[in-house]
């Protein structure tokens, strides 16, 4: 009989994971720029600095 008088409230939480595509794109552009700069430095070293030795 006591079970009939229980008032149980269940809290439901819905978590939505939102991915910010602009943040992903800016991070990708940043790392691509790093890679281009590194390859540019390596190209400079191979073409102009190493032949002088």
Is residue 10 assigned to a domain?
A: no
Is residue 52 assigned to a domain?
A: yes
Q: What angle do CA 17, 18, 24 make, to 5 degrees?
A: 125
**CA–CA gap between residue 53 and residue 49 (Å, rounded):** 8
**CA–CA gap between residue 44 and residue 17 (Å, rounded):** 44
Is residue 16 assigned to a domain?
A: no
Is residue 9 assigned to a domain?
A: no
The predicted structure's pLDDT at residue 4: 61
What are the tens digits of pLDDT across the range 24-36?
999 999 999 999 9
What are the tens digits of pLDDT across the range 37-48?
999 999 999 999
Is residue 42 assigned to a domain?
A: yes
The tokens for 40 are 């540019």
Exposure pattern of 32-46 as b/e (b: 16+ CB <10 Å)? eeeeeeeeeeeeeee
Q: How many CA atoms lie within 13 A of 22 on its CB side?
A: 0
Provide the domain count of the chain: 1
Taking the model in full, what pTM does it have?
Answer: 0.58
């Amino acid at each position: 009989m006591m079970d009939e008088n229980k008032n149980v409230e269940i809290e439901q939480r819905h978590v939505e994971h939102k991915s910010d595509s602009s943040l992903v794109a800016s991070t990708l552009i940043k790392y691509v720029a790093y890679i281009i700069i590194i390859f540019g430095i390596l190209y400079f070293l191979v073409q102009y600095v190493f032949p002088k030795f």
